[in-house]
Structure 1
Amino acid sequence: MWLLSVLVPLIRLYFCGARVLVYQMFNRSFTLPVLPKQNGRVAIVTGGTRGMGFETARHLAGLGMHVFIVGNEREEGAEAVKKIQEGGKGKAEFVFVDLTSLKSVRQFAHAFRNRGLPLHLLVNNAGTMLVPEMQTEDGFEFHFALNYLGHFLLTNLLLDILKKSGGPGCCSRIVNMSSATHYAGVINLGDLNRKKHYSSHGAYAQSKLGLVLFTYYLQEQLMAGGYHVTVNAVDPGMVDTALYDNLWTLAQMLKKPVTKVLFRTPAEGASITLFAAAASELEGVGASYLYNGERRASADISYDTELQAELWKKSCELVGLQQA
């Protein structure tokens, strides 16, 4: 039983990865359209110190945005801001936040609110993959906490600012970073910390499925309330970033020869995030799963409205939020 609980998620996840690589073998990364200027607008990008997050923050600043780079590496953050400001366009600030800590997320949200700034874009980009089993200071499984739950709390704490900042024909936007691995994801509401049979592969896929469920449910609530805020999930494909550093040894050996040929660059991976964040074509468009410049169907289970609502309710309980 234990062996199956480990092997099944592993096989499902690597099968998803293989399908993506085959697609990328025959399809180039889409060309990002010219994006409209974003002068005077404010964005938050989590995990913006390196990789796709940095490329996203750099491009948004170049469009004229005031970008807050959220991360847990102070030196990397300072270097990222320096690189962006050397370009002479836009404005960037680094703010230390540990997304695995509910206290840290709350402190950042409180500090941001005190700045009195609007918020036009929230990019929930930060993530980790295939780390060994461990719990956060709040007692949550690490993938679930960093990839999903921290972003769930951050989004909800800033949602009223996003609502006030959006308007007709100029919606505020939320972009959630998912991946093809969500197709292999299974949500067990009774064991979200995966204590019974831990699998890092299963935990990662669960966190990415959670983000898609969260995307669809939140958009439905925003539409029902008549708010000018859109929420979309994006899939960057397989990108050459540090996210893959935790692959098991054989996978690492197989990855190295194909990385430069089949993997996307961080800039290419960030293009789908930027498309969701600023493209005119997506003005007013929400509840989409975006891949390589197109709207795609996500996993069948992600459209289960009962599961969406149940996960939302459970997530509110876990982070101490009252449901509206």
Structure 2
Amino acid sequence: MWLLSVLVPLLRLYMCGIRVLLYQMFNKSFKLPVLPKQNGRVAIVTGGTRGMGFETARHLANLGMHVIIAGNEREEGARAVKRIHGEGCEGTAEFIFVDLTSLKSVRQFVHTFKAKRLPLHVLVNNAGTMLVPELQTEDGFEFHFALNYLGHFLLTNLLLDLLKKSGRQGCCSRIVNMSSATHYAGVIDMEDLNRRTVYSSHGAYSQSKLALVLFTYYLQEQLTAGGFFVTANAVDPGMVDTALYDNLWSLAQALKKPVAKTLFRSPAEGASISIYAAAAPEMEGVGGCYLYNGEKKQSAELSYNSELQIKLWKTSCKLVGLQEA
């Protein structure tokens, strides 16, 4: 029974990966169109110091935005800001520390940001980790669940008031949640969200990415019902050659290197879908979508389960100490 509980999530995740690779083998990567300038708009990009997060932050700054790079590596953050400014972009960038695995750190980040008295037009919840060994955060949460989902859940909710104030008709504020095709393999165990009964890093990762999609859809329902000019969308970058894959088991890691050169997308290509969701005119006023390769796609059937969306939302509020909206 224990072996099945570990093997099934592993096989489901790798089958998702194979399907994505086959798609990328026969289909070109989404080409980002020329986007209008975004002068005067403010964005936050989590995990913006490297990989897809950096490429997202850099592109938004080049469009004229003031970009807050949120990350947990101060020196890396300083280098990222220096690189962006060195390109002579029209916008600006700055780094603010946040550890998304710590609820206290997320709250401190929001306090620091709000003290700047800036509006907030775009929130890109990009930061993530994959297939790390079993770890618990300082708050007692499973690491994937905390970093990929729960930290972003709290961050988004604490910034919602600013996003609502900053959006207006014809120029909505936008929330972009970075999911993955692995969410199709995800299962939400409401009785064991921290995966303490039987731990599987593959199952934990898939669950966190499914949770992000469920969160996106329910959040959009609330925003629409309230008449707020804010949209929320989930995006899927495909398989991208980033440090996320450093935790693959040894055989998969050996196979990944030659495959990545030909079939994986570059960080810039992977970031294109986040940038599109954050700034494309075609996405104005459009929310509650799952975007892949520049198109709206059907996400996992489970992600449309309204009862599960509500249960996850209510449980998440309790876990992070928020009153239910």
TM, length-normalised to structure 2 = 0.99
Query: Where do residues 181-192 of structure 1 align in structure 2 (5 Å cutoff)?
Result: 181-192=182-193
User: Counterpart of 2:47?
Assistant: 47
DSSP 3-state at the match of 1:231: strand
Counterpart of 2:24?
A: 24
Task: Give secondary structure in 2 for the equivalent of 1:115.
Answer: coil
Aligned to 1:115: 116
Residue 245 (str. 1) matches residue 246 (str. 2): yes
Matches of 2:75 and 2:219, distance apart in 1: 34
CA distance in 2, matches of 1:150, 1:74: 19
Pair 1:167-2:168 in alignment: yes
Aligned to 1:300: 301
Tell me the SS of whatever aligns to 2:322: coil
1:59-106 deviation line (CA, Å, top 9, x unaligned): 000000000000001111010000000012110001110000000000
Equivalent positions of 1:88-237 (< 5 A) are 88-89=88-89, 90-237=91-238
Tell me, yes or no, if structure 1 residue 72 matches structure 2 residue 64.
Answer: no
1:188: Cα distance to partner? Answer: 0.6
CA deviations over 1:121-154 (Å, ceiling 9, x no partner): 0000000000000100000000000000000000
Distance, in Å, in 2 between the alignment partners of 1:5 and 1:277 is 38
- Deviation of 1:311 after TM superposition, in Å, equals 0.1
- Count of aligned pairs between the two proteins: 324
What is residue 281 of structure 1 aligned with on the other side? 282
Amino acid at match of 1:41: R
**How far apart in 1 are the matches of 2:76 and 2:16?**
31
Where do 5+ consecutive residues of structure 2 fail to align? none
Letter of the 1:94 partner, please give it: F
CA distance in 1, matches of 2:213, 2:78: 31
Q: Which amino acid aligns with 1:164?
A: K
Q: How far 1:228 sits from its partner (Å)?
A: 0.2
User: Shift of the alpha carbon at 1:257?
Assistant: 1.0
**Does the residue aligned with 2:115 lie in a helix, a strand or coil?**
helix
Deviation, structure 1 residue 7: 0.1
CA distance in 2, matches of 1:288, 1:247: 30
Is 2:273 the partner of 1:272? yes
Q: TM-score, normalised by structure 1?
A: 1.00
SS in 1 for 2:188: coil
The equivalences for 1:246-261 within 5 A come to 246-261=247-262
Runs (4+) off by over 4 Å: none
User: What SS does the aligned partner of 1:45 have?
Assistant: strand
Alpha-carbon displacement from aligned partner over 1:138-191 (angstroms, at most 9, x marks no partner): 000000000000000000000000000000000000000000000000001110
Quick one: distance in 1 between partners of 2:7 and 2:260? 25
Query: Equivalent residue for 2:315?
Result: 314
Kindly state the Cα deviation for residue 204 of structure 1 after the two structures are TM-superposed.
Answer: 0.1
Residues in 2 aligned to 1:299 and 1:44: alpha-carbon distance in whole angstroms: 28
Residues of 2 paired with 1:57 and 1:272: CA distance?
A: 13
| Aligned-partner residue type, residue 274 of structure 1 | I
> Take 1:130 and 1:181, find their aligned partners in 2: how far apart are those partners?
12
Aligned AA (2:31): T
Seq. identity, %:
80
Q: Take 2:172 and 2:47, find their aligned partners in 1: how far apart are those partners?
A: 23
* Aligned residue identity for 1:299: A
Q: CA offset at residue 44 of structure 1?
A: 0.1
Cα distance in 1 for partners of 2:164, 2:75 equals 33
| Cα RMSD after superposing both structures | 0.4
> What is the deviation of 1:114?
1.5
In the alignment, the residues of structure 2 paired with residue 323 and residue 252 of structure 1 have an alpha-carbon distance, to the nearest angstrom, of 42
Deviations 1:20-51 (A, max 9, x none): 00000000101111111000100000000000
